[in-house]
Amino acid sequence: MRLTWVGMVHCNAVIPKEDQDKLARQMHAYHCVPVFIDPAMSQTFHSFCYGTLWPIMHNIVDVYGKLPTRWWNPSQQKNAWSSYMHVNRIFVNKVIEVYNEGDLVWVHGLHLLVAPSFLSRRLPYVNVGLFLHTPFPSSEIFRTLSVRADLLRGMLSADHIGFHLYEHARHFLTSCRRILGLKYNAQAGGYIGVEYNGRMVAITISHIGIEPPFVDRLSVKDQVLHETARLRALYGAKKIVVGVDQVERLKGITLKMLSLEQFFRTNPAYRDTVQVVQIGIVDGADTSEAKLKLRKEIQTIVDRINATYPQPQGVEPVVVYQELNNTDLSIRLPLWNVADVMLLTSVRDAVSLYPFEFVYAHNVTKSPGVVIVSEFSGSSRVLTGSLGVNPWKKKEVVEALVTALDMSDEEKAARHAHDFEYIAVNTRTKWAERILVDLKRTSKAASTVGMQYMGYVRPPPLYGLGLGYRMLEFHAGFKMLETDQVVRAYRHTFRRVLLFDYGNTLAQENLPQNNFSKYIKGDDGCALSGDLEHDTPKASPELLKALSKLCSDPRNTVFVLSGKDRQDLERTLGGVPGLGLAAEHGYLYRWGDNDDGWLCTKENFDDSWKDITHSVMDIYTQRTHGTYIELKGSALLWQYRDADPEFGQLQAKELHEQLLQVLESYQVEVLPGNDYLEVRPEGVDKGVMVDRILSSLESRGGSPVDYVL
């Protein structure tokens, strides 16, 4: 497999232009392509990533604190978002430079969420994957972003989106449903599909792992062996509780220290037999007030514990706390080797591989340890042999520590074997292979992008501006309407039938979020018509002229078939001479000659079902905010497009089952629609109406119908 990395170069100093070229040539040997960003733009870009996106992704919205106010400045917010998009474009340009036909592009992290949109615009056939390594917030938190819809559209331009945990994918899907109005469902093969502009975007859940061979090679290095021996000699027979965390609020080091303080206070027997080693990873460049305050809090609690339980001269304190700028695996492995218990108390974490390393290291040393992990960490979902705790409950953490320290060797071995099996099978390489195979299966060229036109495969239709730029896909075998062939056939035929839909075909239909027109009444108590009736868009003069011209040809039979009621169609198209109309999906219709007036396909039809249907719908309307009942001629509709999407869909499903039972003896059908449920007479649809039109024309005699459009 040919692999090319495209990424930013992290350097404390500004890299001169001449050095950038040299560095790029040197990194080429390692299949790495560096991206260099202007320092000022890089600062604004990272400020947006870590000052806005990172807190939101971790479900942090401090309404009254300093966090949101920094972005309330419109110009500053605009500049930050502009820099974010510009950096994404720079990455895309660099990817295009090294792209070869057939390559897969795999985008990682919150830094490049809109890159798939720019890639799809430049390379319509490229397969783009996106993997998010942070949590995804609940829809209520995510919707606080002013650019929420743009971010979602940018992400959905990818063909495959991956998450470490289902709960993160669930929040993403809910945001797609609530903010963009999209629908999703389970697909064959175990993935979730989001329908977006005719495309099915694949959503999968797969937790990343570690690479065991790398750990094996490092475990036998002299540096690791010597440090392991030193730590064992230093702590002797004591049981060691270890933790390695970044010094951040969400890592929960403060909560951990408070729980350890209570542990030693309530369990005096462990004060001389348990050693705590905590490593805090700090960014030396971060000297913010919040970070300094957190470091001081941690050190204060550590000093308080050590002062309360002093150790003899020459013996390490009860809690050893050390801050380092970085800890690579060679530094962590000796700690994992000697520790009996690992304690992680993060309050929000997408992925932490330290528990994986701990379990695997103890398999190498043949001495199973115990992992205590926060239930808010992704590791707790996959390492089910660990002890899960709520870090906010000190008593629960203390009890877990006692359980781990007193656990029998047999139980330790069983828990260890369970987690080790998962770690050995789900390696980082296997994780990457699974994702790339899934991405390959979404191949545009092999699925739905191509459209046949004049015998050739043409590119998919693209439309929109900015992040609203979208690509439409069609099912395999879709064939475009070839207008030149339509016109040629029209000129050489003598008895034609032209059938048109109205809404969103002959006239654009724009439905507002809320429908208030049915509540606005005129002096006679009836609903006002005209502009207030959003259901039926006005027919343009150009449309009326075109229909009149088609109807004036005696060889043409022209019909407009619509789900609108009779009054709406008469008001908009009734003035076109010779135009046939079919209202309510064909329940009522009239021929263009208008000799017989309006006819009904269901003569003497029993409509007593409407009272029963209305009473059942009314019960669900009272219990579902934002829903209402709508009478459309022969049909009754239960509209829930203004309700909560999930609750409305849930209630509609239950109402559907209820109506099927109570209307079983009536000749009606219950049909679910796009945010509505419709009950209408059985056997009434546009297809039946088309058959009726064609059969009526044949029964009238004359030349056979030789053209249907």
DSSP 49-92: IIIIIHHHHTT---TTSHHHHTT-SHHHHHHHHHHHHHHHHHHH
Tell me the pLDDT of the chain averaged across its residues: 85
For residue 581, the cross-strand partners are: 560, 590
Instruction: State how far the Cα of 494 lies from the Cα of 490, in Å rounded to an integer.
Output: 8
The pLDDT assigned to 583 comes to 87
Q: Where does the pLDDT of residue 683 fall: very low under 50, low under 70, confident under 90, or very high at 90 and above?
A: confident
Q: Going edge to edge, which strands form the sheet with 668-672?
A: 628-632, 635-639, 676-681, 668-672
SS (H, E, C) 448-481: CCCEEECCEEECCCEECCHHHCEECCCCCCCECC
247 and 280 Cβ atoms separated by less than 8 Å: yes
Angle (CA) 103-107-113 rounded to 5° is 135
The pLDDT assigned to 526 comes to 42
379 and 372 Cβ atoms separated by less than 8 Å: no
Q: Where does the pLDDT of residue 459 fall: very low under 50, low under 70, confident under 90, or very high at 90 and above?
A: low
For residue 102, the cross-strand partners are: none
Q: Which of 308, 310, 317, 321 is nearest to 256 (CA)?
A: 321
Convert the pLDDT of each residue in 323-377 to its tens digit. Answer: 998 888 999 999 999 999 999 999 988 788 999 999 999 988 788 999 999 999 9
Q: What is the CA radius of gyration of the chain?
A: 33
DSSP for residue 666: S
520 — phi, psi (to 5°)?
Answer: -95, 120
Instruction: State how far the Cα of 124 lies from the Cα of 473, in Å rounded to an integer.
Output: 11
186 — phi, psi (to 5°)?
Answer: -70, 140
557: left (phi over 0), alpha (psi -120 to 50) or beta: beta
Instruction: State how far the Cα of 450 lies from the Cα of 476, in Å rounded to an integer.
Output: 7
Cα dihedral sign, 256-260-261-262: positive
Task: Give the CB-side neighbour count of residue 301, counting CA atoms within 13 A.
Answer: 18
Instruction: State how far the Cα of 601 lies from the Cα of 688, in Å rounded to an integer.
Output: 10
Here the tokens at position 602 are 């269901």
The pLDDT assigned to 457 comes to 46
Mutual angle of helices 148-156 and 115-122, in 10-degree steps: 50
Instruction: State how far the Cα of 381 lies from the Cα of 384, in Å rounded to an integer.
Output: 6
- What domains are there in the chain, each with its CATH number? 37-205 (3.40.50.2000), 212-425 (3.40.50.2000), 483-509+534-601+685-708 (3.40.50.1000), 608-681 (3.90.1070.10)
For residue 276, the cross-strand partners are: 241, 319
Helix (H) or strand (E) holding 374: strand 370-374
pLDDT at 447 exceeding the cut of 50: no
Q: Among all chains, which residue has been given the structure tokens 């997408």?
A: 350
Q: Where does the pLDDT of residue 441 fall: very low under 50, low under 70, confident under 90, or very high at 90 and above?
A: confident
Residue positions counted in the chain: 709
137 and 176 Cβ atoms separated by less than 8 Å: no
Instruction: State how far the Cα of 697 lies from the Cα of 557, in Å rounded to an integer.
Output: 9
Q: Among all chains, which residue has been given the structure tokens 């949590």?
A: 135
DSSP for residue 704: P
Q: Where does the pLDDT of residue 635 fall: very low under 50, low under 70, confident under 90, or very high at 90 and above?
A: confident
pLDDT at 186 exceeding the cut of 90: no
The pLDDT assigned to 472 comes to 63
Mutual angle of helices 166-179 and 148-156, in 10-degree steps: 120
Taking residues 407-425, report their average pLDDT.
93
Instruction: State how far the Cα of 337 lies from the Cα of 360, in Å rounded to an integer.
Output: 10
Taking residues 611-639, report their average pLDDT.
89
Convert the pLDDT of each residue in 154-185 to its tens digit. Answer: 999 999 999 999 999 999 999 999 899 888 88
pLDDT at 565 exceeding the cut of 90: no
Q: Which residues of 634-649 are buried (b: 16+ CB within 10 A; e: fewer)?
A: bbbbbbbbebbbeebb
Convert the pLDDT of each residue in 243-274 to its tens digit. Answer: 999 999 899 999 999 999 999 999 999 999 99
The pairing of strands 635-639 and 628-632 is antiparallel
Maximum average pLDDT range among 127-141, 437-451, 537-551, 559-573 = 127-141
Q: Is 72 exposed, middle or buried (0-12, 13-18, 19+ CB in 10 A)?
A: exposed
DSSP, residue by residue, 576-609: STTEEEEEGGGTEEE-TT-SS--EESSTT---TH
Q: Among all chains, which residue has been given the structure tokens 């008593």?
A: 395
620 and 659 Cβ atoms separated by less than 8 Å: no
Convert the pLDDT of each residue in 490-522 to its tens digit. Answer: 888 888 899 998 887 888 776 554 555 555 444
The pLDDT assigned to 325 comes to 87
The pairing of strands 676-681 and 470-471 is unpaired
269 — phi, psi (to 5°)?
Answer: -65, -25
